[in-house]
Structure 1
Amino acid sequence: MKLVLAQLNPTIGDFHGNVRRLLAVYEEAVAWGADLVVAPELYLTGYPPRDLLHDRGFLAANRAALSRLAAATNRTALVVGFVDESASRPGRGLANAAALLQHGRVVAVRHKTLLPTYDVFDEDRYFDPAPDNPPVPFLGKQIGLTICEDIWNDEDFWPERRYRANPPAALAAAGAQFLINISASPWWLGKTRTRFAMLRSLARKLRLPVIFCNQVGGNDELIFDGHSLVFDPEGHLIAEGRLFAEDVLRVDLDRPEPRSFTEPAEESMVWDALVLGTRDYFRKCGFQKAVLGLSGGIDSALTACIAAAALGPENVHGVSLPSRYSSPGSLADARELAVRLGIRYDVLPIEPVFETCRQQLAPLFRNLPEDVTEENLQARIRGLLLMALSNKFGSLLLTTGNKSELAVGYCTLYGDMNGGLAVISDVPKTMVYRLARWVNREREIIPAACLTKPPSAELRPNQTDQDTLPPYEVLDAILEAAVVQGRTFEEIVRDGHDADTVRRVLHMIHRSEYKRRQAPPGLKVTTKAFGIGRRMPVAHRYDPLTVTAAPESAGAPAHPDPTGIDRSSH
């Protein structure tokens, strides 16, 4: 059997464009003599459509798109993901579905069995699970059709499972002769090797070919890596799609050619993910140009590099906004970076505006010492001016804060948090340094001083980040334990971390939720990002450090602390 896997990049709600792109691949497959073309999960709508699924016009357009695709098919069949109606009652009324199209009609439809409702997924909000999923007859064989999560629950691979059912095993027991899985499986660091090992294990266990076709591209915070895979019944890899790019795989199951798999370096994958996510966010939102503040620090330097790679240097505008506390070295580094990238660069001093604000506030601030208020005022002036440039020239403002800063609130609302996309908000500071060195692997693009000088917000004399924060190696290790792994204070301290440092970091994380709630969307590249996959209340009194206290005294208000950390890092 000759297969074509259409690893494509759909845009949510662009039914005409999605159909047009798939039909182009289909026509090429027909010319090659393919028996079957496979497209990703919910390809017609784009994934994830979220509450557009409550829009009846959206659902009707999805069905019309399916009809247009079906009408265009001939002997070569096509499997594609769409939104179907569900007959389950009581229920949601919708199903995440795969359709087999051939000879101008819909030959078969199968619904997704396992509906993920964790981290970034909320499919149970919209869909009903399949009551059954028998194999589909095709060319004298039996196809096992599964959709994404359906293959992520094998008891022989996962020590802990989320569901009782194992759809691939059930299909194999029912006579399926090969498994097809259409997916919209978002990427994060570590998933490439996990997914590969899981699919290989499944093929070996069931002694069946496993065909995995994944969506590629960025949709809001999520980045889909593609990397479609085909394994033979012995678990040998026989086809592999590109990472972070569209691809069309031609596979002859009757003439398999085993190949080796080598996972790229982590820095390479994170870089490619961020470039793809940035490019698609701009393209799919209708923006062409970006503007960002260039402080001369490593975060804004890395963000500028990503933007230039994603959009082209001619579409990136870097602006330095120095104050009385900005060092000459920082301005020189920002200028040198812009020259090396070939982006537009301007200097817009904030000192006149800052002094005007100080004078305006002087009557109300009389006899009060300067403190974090004046520091944040500088960040907010920068945010104001950058947003003015964004409005005037129709460019999208990029925020440049990293995950470590966002975690502990080392950022300023309505200041350096202003913007439409937070490119590196899920990149810990230690990974920022790794990526910067990776960018410079062949030639120096990011000035060396950005990697060696102590990081500083430059909002007061002789300031460094470590005046307020632990060393980033320590901070990121605690954040990984607390935020990603969900470990307790006691467990983190037992790992060897200083108790007072852990207590202080957990307190900062806990008290900064109100800031993160107001942050722009950030591209997800780790297993647990701040955003849609981490849903914490703002108004609450739970404090993990005082959880054993009496109910009437437990916790501290989680509302903004006017004396807490609220500083810009750019």
Structure 2
Amino acid sequence: MTATTQSVSRDLNALGLFRVGVATPELKIADIDFNLAEILRLASRAAEAGCQLLLFPELCLTGYTCADLFFQKHLQQGALQALETVAGFTAGTDMVLVVGVPVSSAGRLFNCAAFLAGGEIKGLVPKTYLPNSGEFYEQRWFCSEWSRTCAELTIGSRQVPFGSDLLFQAENIPELRIGIEVCEDGWSVAPPSGPQALAGATLLLNPSASPEILGKEAYRRALVAAQSARCLAAYAYASAGPNESSTDLVFSGHSLIAENGRILAETERYQFTSQLAVADIDYAMLCGERQRNTTFGNAQPERDFRLQPFRAAALSAGQLCRSVVRTPFVPPDDGERAERCREIFQLQTSGLIKRLKHTGSRQVVIGLSGGLDSTLALLVTVKAFDRLGLDRQGIVAITMPGFGTTARTRGNAEELARHLGTELRIISIDAAVRGHFNDIGHDPATHDVTFENSQARERTQVLMDVANQVGGLVIGTGDLSELALGWCTYNGDHMSMYAVNSGVPKTLVRYLVEWCAREEFSGRTSAVLADICATPVSPELLPPDAEGRINQLTEEVVGPYELHDFFLYQVVRLHFPPLKVLALAELAFGEDYSHEVILGWLRKFYQRFFSQQFKRSCLPDGPKVGSVALSPRGDWRMPSDATVTWWLSQLEEL
């Protein structure tokens, strides 16, 4: 299996990407000519796929299972001659190859990974941890890096750096530094990749020969993913295949590429033909993650490394070899999405329970509009009361019909409150708002921001005052996406005493309500929830149309939430620049939106995100539930008077 390939017209180098391949070549044990030819053939195939670096398995020039044949001088010399031939191949392709080879030095034999670029052997990295238990007997043939007596070896006419203290630095990509550990090194208690990452390695390579036994596939995948996450790095793992000797073991050829805990690509196991998997790693993103991670920043490298320069090939435009997730907050897999909804609902409920226990409140007030956000907030509140053993009549659900309220949303709100067993109050704001218009001299026929926000603030006044009456808390209903865009009325729906939805993006709210309808509630309640999910998103502040239908669709004004949530994740979670956000958005949404439409809404996102920071600077308390949060007390600190000019200027260049 390879990573998803998508078309892109932009320069991939400008996006901070580097294309890596992992290969499991067809092999004959101790047949160097055959192995060399297959390695070169597979390298040519990878070059055609635009690979900038291709990693081969441990001891791939000879085969890992040569056993005592490793002592044969003829085999050792043949392997070095083949290595020079492979190095020569890199001169013509401008691609980096990393291959496994046995190397003799000072009467010792080492299991090495050779880094080849620009027609040269740039370095030899010997294996440090040699397994010698169970099915492994490596110490019979090889010596550890700890037995190394020199820092260079003579191969042909060249002096080649030798040692596990080598890191390989791309001269033309400052953020791309490569470290290598060999097979068991990565499975050890203290893998060399840890210090390599602390010394700046963003891409970690592991040429391996990992035999297959029951359960090892999942363990291997978890290990590679976890090490990439722990090191905040990309991790490429190339493993020997089933053409190795099956005298006592079977090798599956399970090769993987991971990035910060996520598997990007992997090969199919148990294939006797050569296998190749390719993925574009995002080294720019990894550097950004490290800059924000104080644990990484404060850690000191445990050893000194020698940097070996090489020049990386340019990444050709045209195809992107990694999946771009269209809904970063919503897993596409049904099972994973349900599990995420369950966890988020628990987080929201537990946060509210703590606040109710701390304040001793047995009453809460919530504005119920019949829309998704207030519905989710009510469901969270109901479950919190159930877990605390409190009477649901302590939940005062208030629906406040105004100028834009439709029969559908009002009906759903009232029916939901009745079926859930909460207290329901219906308080029209029509007369109060008209009186307010008269007080301030506003023409009710002028449907401007004053017309809209007066209704929102009147509703908040009602909620706050009823909360005083019953001695309870006002539960906030606004979500994360609204906070990002400032799509809330300052000191209106912007304000509450505990905001249970403040960490939930809009694209996930609908799925949470759907999940609640399936998993937490039943009967008529589920049916009402289903209709609420099918209702268009609207603040309902403008009068309905002639047929009584919603006349104000939020996404027609502020933009599609699927785009804005995508932008939010790229800008706030990953800190990507506008150029990269736009390019990724075009990959994710290009079939549904034109370049001009995406660009326009991205410009709107930046404008609103910067201009509306003042609303986020005084947010009510609320639980963080995911990797993106905008609380000024937690994840996001930004001056309210920051200017957006620098970000918009990059978009204007497009």
Q: When the two structures are superposed, what TM-score results if normalisation uses the length of structure 1?
A: 0.50
Q: When the two structures are superposed, what TM-score results if normalisation uses the length of structure 2?
A: 0.44
